[in-house]
């Protein structure tokens, strides 16, 4: 009985889908009217991309502008700014850029190390105030940067710490840790505990199990967290501005010089950073695709 | 024995007064167990009876609340997992996804700084016939291949004791049979002590020298597979290991050789020596394949129990045998397995039949079947453990 009903249902489903095919088939060439969605979406998408890409294109193009002090009007094409990027204003652009790199690297290393350890502790161990710590780690992400920057500045002043590179690094490390913890935590949580148990079972001491099993398996998450940290630190202006004293970072340099016309050298560095970032993404994607292809080839 | 050397042979395992409590529940009540060296020992039980916890205690992945664990006569209770001469084949295989197959297999040898790890690993892979895949990653292997790698990764270390945590559970039936044979062969070849945890009674019976049936954190009965099957001592064992027809009634007569029970007016006799209890209310049973089906009322024969008439309420044909469910009014529904000696079933649904079996084939239990639940309650230790742990986790995550 039920077998018959099932068979009938399957047959019914088949005929129905065949009918649908038939209906769809001859209809397509007959359709002449162009719907709203057929042109609106492509146009909208094109406009959105143009809007988003114009500032980048502008920055790139004006890095070749043969400008004087201000870089607003087009005055002719030159490679000078790319070749002598550090020669303007006594190398102020390059100094700011170098500062940003140092601050970015140091706070990334510190935040990634601490954040990874916190993430592992939060997922793997049950301890007092664990949930409060989890919650507090979200605060730097949720708090407005102005408040965070001003608050930190006031604290540094109260304690009497002079504002310099160190205070910037401290500030950046603080907000980067939150992002690292969130990123790495997800990776730790998805790690099968049986893998570490297998490591212990196969005579691995706690240290060996961590470095040969846990850490390699967490690496993708840790790398993602480190890249995110560096990008956040390199990019940050508001918190930096409150806590930098006389030290100039790249975003701060651009902000200050914006009032009197940003020099073309800033465009050069910004364009270079953009190109490097783009290159990294492209290389990563291409090598991943190649690896997937190789694995697929080995499987067969 | 140092962890730096290979075990010469399997070692015996001794569990003395083991108890394991997790916050809020007890996984293992009280466990005493001795497994002789070189034997293939199966811990059999439903999911959550504490068998996996027992295994993890032996491996050193959990610490007992009380009791001692001795391997080869040496107390290892206070040593860590990586210091014990024990290896585990995990249920999920737990192969390291970031390493090649050969690195996976050589992992234990390298940690113990045993020379020539690579070639020993290749040998182990040859044993499981996977040496040609040595350079691949675990994700590129099928389930059965991964299972064999997990086995190679464990036995390459020549542990004194090999622990198998339902390693065949994820395989399909055919592959499972094949792996069961391979495991048995390897065990005999290398002479290690195997402790195999499983919920599959057939697997336990075909592979192990000794089977311990575990229920609710304690061992119900232990012995050779045929002994457990032919003479179960408790209702749980009688029903978990194969099927049983059970009858409960008062003892109405006992002699040195035979004991008669009155089950709702029907007299059932069993051998006295095969009964655990000899007075009052007792439960006796017989295996379905020991019962003979009669289409006409047979004559009373000494030494045979006769039951009937009853009515066949279900016939299920299973190729090699046919199972008949017979309802005998007032007593029970009785299951009968009959070999299909000729074609097709010999009785049909609704036909009137009589049942008989040899008095010597009956057995008497030490407890009564738990009538309150036809299905095992979900309140066993492990499921409570899992539920509690998950509740705790959600509570911690939620805040």
| Residues on chain A touching B80 (C-beta within 8 angstroms) | 200
Instruction: Count A/B contacts: CB-CB distance under 8 Å.
Output: 73
Q: Which residues of A touch B (CB under 8 A)?
A: 126, 130-132, 134-135, 192, 194-195, 197-205, 208-209, 212-213, 216-217, 295, 298-299
Taking an 8 Å cut-off on Cβ atoms, the answer to whether A199 and B88 are in contact is: no
d(CA A256, CA A238): 13
For domain A91-263, give its CATH number from 3.20.20.70, 3.40.50.720, 1.10.3720.10, 3.40.50.2000.
Answer: 1.10.3720.10
* Interchain CB contact of B388 with A (< 8 Å): no
Give the one of B82, B86, B97 whose C-beta lies nearest to A204's C-beta: B82
Contact B11, B71 (CB under 8 A): yes
B392 contacts in A (CB within 8 Å)?
126
For position B47, what pLDDT does the model report? 80
Residue with tokens 């057995």: B363
* Phi and psi based region of residue B116 (left: phi greater than 0; alpha: psi -120 to 50; beta: remaining): left
User: Does B61 contact A at CB distance below 8 Å?
Assistant: yes
Mutate to test the interface with A, among B79, B111, B136, B141 (most CBs of A within 10 A): B111
Coil, strand or helix at A36? helix
Length of chain B (residues): 399
Asked whether the bond before B309 is cis by omega within 30 degrees of 0, the reply is yes
Is B3's Cβ below 8 Å from some Cβ in A?
yes
Contact assignment for A202 to B3 by CB distance below 8 Å: no
User: What is the structure's pLDDT at A148?
Assistant: 93
Which parts of chain B register pLDDT below 50? 1, 372-379, 399
Q: How far is A116 from chain B (nearest CA, A)?
A: 18
B88 has a chain A CB within 8 A of its CB = yes
From CA A218, how far away is CA A262, in angstroms rounded? 42
- Any idea which residue has 């340099």 for tokens? A253
Q: Which residue has the tokens 């497994």?
A: B35
Among A130, A203, A216, the residue with its CB nearest the CB of B111 is A203
Chain A: residue whose CA lies nearest to B108: A202
Q: Do B87 and A295 touch (CB under 8 A)?
A: no
How far, in Å, CA of A152 to CA of A154, rounded? 5
| Spatial distance between the Cα atoms of B226 and A74, rounded to a whole number of angstroms | 96
Q: Is B167 on the interface with A (CB under 8 A)?
A: no
Q: What is the pLDDT of residue B372?
A: 46
> DSSP code of B81?
G
Nearest CA in chain B to A126: B396
Residue A213 to residue B96, Cβ atoms within 8 A: yes
The string over B296-325, giving b where at least 16 C-beta atoms fall within 10 Å of a residue's C-beta and e elsewhere, is: eeeeeeeebbbbbebbbeebeeeeebbbbb
Angle, helices A264-299 vs A36-62, to 10°: value is 120
Provide, as residue numbers in chain B, all residues whose Cβ is less than 8 Å from the Cβ of A295.
137, 140
- Any A CB within 8 A of B138 CB: no
Q: Which chain A residues are Cβ-neighbours of B94 within 8 angstroms? A: 192, 194-195, 197-198
Nearest to A131 among B107, B157, B399 (CB): B399
pTM value > 0.80: no
Q: What is the pLDDT of residue A186?
A: 93
Buried/exposed code over B12-43 (b: 16+ C-beta within 10 A; e: otherwise)? bbbbbebbbebeebbbbeebebebebbbbbbb
Please tell me the distance in Å from B395's CA to the nearest CA on chain A. 9
* Residues 6 or more apart in contact with residue A1 via CB below 8 angstroms: none
pLDDT digit of tens for each residue in chain A (300 aa)? 344 434 434 433 333 444 444 444 444 555 566 677 788 889 999 999 999 999 999 989 988 888 777 777 888 888 888 888 787 767 788 889 999 999 999 999 999 999 999 999 999 888 888 889 989 998 888 899 999 999 999 999 999 989 889 999 999 999 999 999 999 999 999 999 999 999 999 999 999 999 999 999 999 999 999 999 999 999 899 999 999 988 999 999 888 888 877 788 888 888 998 999 899 889 989 998 998 888 777 665
Domains of chain B, CATH where assigned? 13-85+159-228 (3.40.50.300), 237-364 (2.40.50.140)
Looking at the complex, report in whole angstroms how far the Cα of residue B232 sits from the nearest Cα belonging to chain A. Answer: 36
Q: Is B142 on the interface with A (CB under 8 A)?
A: no
Would you call B394 an interface residue with chain A, using a CB distance cutoff of 8 Å?
no
Q: Which two tokens stand for residue A269?
A: 């560095």
The 10s digit of each residue's pLDDT in B209-264 is 999 999 888 899 999 999 999 999 999 999 888 889 998 888 988 888 889 998 88
**Dist. CA A277–CA A228, nearest whole Å:** 12
Beta-strand pair B332-339/B321-328? antiparallel
The CA-based dihedral angle spanning residues A125, A126, A128, A133, taken in that order and rounded to the nearest 10 degrees: 60
**Cβ separation of A202 and B86 shorter than 8 Å?**
no
**Which of B80, B87, B140 faces A202 most closely, judged by CB atoms?**
B87
* Cα A149 to the center of its chain, rounded Å: 21
* Closest residue on chain A to B156 (Cα): A202
Residue of A nearest to B80 (CA): A200
- Name the residue among B1, B7, B11, B37 with its Cα closest to residue B157: B7
A76 in Cβ contact with A65 (< 8 Å):
yes
User: What phi and psi values does residue B8 have, to the nearest 5 degrees?
Assistant: -70, -40
Structural tokens at position B381: 């230790």
Q: Do B61 and A213 touch (CB under 8 A)?
A: no
Structure-token pair, residue A259: 């009032």
Set of chain A residues whose Cβ sits within 8 Å of the Cβ of B81: 197, 200-201
Cβ separation B59–A201 shorter than 8 A: yes
Nearest-Cα distance to chain A for B120, in Å, is: 15
Per-residue pLDDT at B191: 79
């Amino acid at each position: 009985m039920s077998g018959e009903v099932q068979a009938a249902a399957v047959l019914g489903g088949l005929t129905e889908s065949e009918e649908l095919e038939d209906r769809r088939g001859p209809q397509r060439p007959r359709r002449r009217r162009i719907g709203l969605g057929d042109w609106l979406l492509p146009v909208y998408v094109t406009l959105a991309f143009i809007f988003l890409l114009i500032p980048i294109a502008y920055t790139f193009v004006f890095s070749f502008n043969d400008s004087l002090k201000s870089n607003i009007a087009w005055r002719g094409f030159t490679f000078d700014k790319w070749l002598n990027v550090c020669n303007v204003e006594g190398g102020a652009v390059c100094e700011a850029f170098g500062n940003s790199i140092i601050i970015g690297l140091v706070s990334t290393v510190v935040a990634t190390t601490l954040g990874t350890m916190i993430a592992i502790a939060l997922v793997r161990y049950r301890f007092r105030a664990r949930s409060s710590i989890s919650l507090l780690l979200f605060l730097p992400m949720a708090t407005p940067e102005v408040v965070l920057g001003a608050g930190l500045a006031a604290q540094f002043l109260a304690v009497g710490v002079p504002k310099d590179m160190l205070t910037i690094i401290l500030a950046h490390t603080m907000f980067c840790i939150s992002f690292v913890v969130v990123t790495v935590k997800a990776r730790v949580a998805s790690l099968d505990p049986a893998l570490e148990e297998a490591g212990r079972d196969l005579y691995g001491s706690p240290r060996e199990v961590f470095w040969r099993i846990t850490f390699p398996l967490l690496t993708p998450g840790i790398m993602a967290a480190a890249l995110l940290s560096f990008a956040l630190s390199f990019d940050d202006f508001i918190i930096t501005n409150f806590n930098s004293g006389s030290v100039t970072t790249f975003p701060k340099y651009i902000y200050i010089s914006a009032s009197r016309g940003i020099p073309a050298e800033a465009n050069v560095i910004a364009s270079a950073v953009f190109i490097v970032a783009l290159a990294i993404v492209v290389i990563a994607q291409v090598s991943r695709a190649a690896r997937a292809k190789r694995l697929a080839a080995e499987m067969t | 024995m140092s962890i730096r050397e290979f075990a010469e042979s399997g070692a015996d395992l001794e569990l003395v007064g083991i108890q394991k409590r997790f916050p809020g529940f007890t996984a293992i009540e009280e466990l005493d167990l001795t497994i002789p060296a070189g034997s293939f020992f199966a811990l059999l039980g439903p999911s959550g009876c504490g068998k996996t916890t027992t295994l993890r205690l032996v491996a050193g992945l959990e610490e007992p609340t009380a009791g001692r664990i001795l391997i080869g006569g040496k107390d290892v209770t206070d040593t860590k997992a990586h210091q014990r001469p024990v290896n585990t084949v995990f249920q999920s295989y737990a192969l390291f996804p970031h390493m090649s197959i050969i690195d996976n297999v050589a992992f234990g040898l390298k940690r113990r700084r045993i020379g020539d790890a690579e070639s020993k690993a290749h040998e182990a892979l040859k044993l499981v016939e996977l040496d040609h895949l040595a350079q691949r990653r675990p994700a590129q292997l099928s389930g059965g291949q991964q299972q064999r790698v997990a086995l190679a990764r464990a036995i390459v270390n020549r542990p004194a004791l090999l622990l198998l945590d339902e390693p065949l559970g994820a395989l399909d039936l055919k592959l499972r049979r094949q792996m069961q044979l391979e495991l048995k062969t390897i065990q005999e070849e290398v002479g290690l002590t195997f402790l195999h945890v499983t919920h599959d009674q057939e697997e336990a019976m075909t592979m192990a020298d000794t089977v311990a049936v575990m229920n609710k954190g304690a061992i119900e009965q232990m012995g050779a597979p045929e002994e457990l099957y032919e003479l179960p001592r408790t209702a749980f064992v009688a029903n978990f290991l194969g099927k049983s027809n059970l009858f409960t009634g008062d003892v109405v007569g006992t002699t040195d050789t035979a004991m008669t029970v009155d089950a709702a007016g029907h007299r059932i006799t069993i051998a006295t020596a095969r009964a655990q209890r000899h007075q009052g209310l007792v439960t006796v049973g017989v295996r379905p394949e020991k019962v003979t089906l009669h289409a006409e009322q047979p004559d009373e024969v000494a030494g045979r129990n006769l039951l009937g008439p009853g009515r066949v309420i279900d016939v299920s044909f299973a190729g090699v045998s046919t199972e008949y469910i017979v309802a005998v009014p007032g007593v029970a529904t009785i299951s009968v397995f009959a070999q299909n000696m000729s074609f097709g079933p010999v009785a049909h649904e609704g036909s009137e039949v009589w049942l008989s079996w040899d008095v010597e084939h009956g057995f008497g239990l030490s407890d009564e079947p738990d009538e309150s639940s036809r299905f095992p309650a979900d309140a066993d230790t492990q499921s409570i453990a899992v539920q509690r742990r998950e509740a705790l986790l959600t509570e911690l995550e939620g805040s």
